[in-house]
Homo-oligomer: A and B are copies of this chain.
């Protein structure tokens, strides 16, 4: 069992926040978090500090922590920034990636496609298996870019955008064919068509964002 207590607290809280268990804007009180995680204040505090760095939580001195709100303008920022930054990373991956990268890519999409998202009365469930593979696929896309720093930034952007996506997931009607979008990106990448791949990736993000925008503004 590898992991400190603060590591588990971090996992628990990140997951809870991403899944909306602690809703956007909610105050995070230590007493509650300690009971929620089953540990004392120190590891909880460390986890929160890391979540602040990841942008999922905000802190105001002596006034505690709260879940970062979901704001349309930030979503727009995320989509634009991701399209650019991950576009570069994808371009470099296409330029530098070898046959192992291709194999990993094909593999990760296969795994994603053969674990269908479960649904319940029209709404998608938060299926952690699907989420893990989805994250893995997007990570693999840019994994051969040769820049650890850029890669790390892509992961941060993913997890920040992920909150928005999961928020709208419960309402999504399923009219989109996400799987087809993924496959199209893969095909362009394997064909070494960087411009097409970048464009498809950006469209993929934008399509997701426009969904979310509708749901966010409805409230």
| Contact surface of A with B, Cβ cutoff 8 Å | 2-4, 7, 42, 45-46, 49-50, 53-55, 61-62, 74, 77-78, 80-81, 84-85, 88, 147-150, 153, 157, 160
Q: Are B149 and A77 in contact (CB under 8 A)?
A: yes
Beyond A49-B49, A84-B88, A85-B85, whether A7 also contacts B61 by CB under 8 A is: yes
Beyond A4-B62, A61-B7, whether A78 also contacts B149 by CB under 8 A is: yes
Q: Are B153 and A61 in contact (CB under 8 A)?
A: no
In the complex, 13 of the A-B residue pairs with CB atoms within 8 angstroms, ordered by the A residue number, are A2-B61, A4-B62, A7-B61, A46-B46, A50-B53, A74-B148, A74-B149, A77-B148, A78-B149, A81-B147, A81-B149, A81-B150, A84-B88
Q: Which 3 A-B pairs have the closest CB atoms?
A: A53-B53, A49-B49, A81-B149
A50 and B54 alpha carbons, distance in the complex (Å): 10
Residue of B nearest to A59 (CB): B4
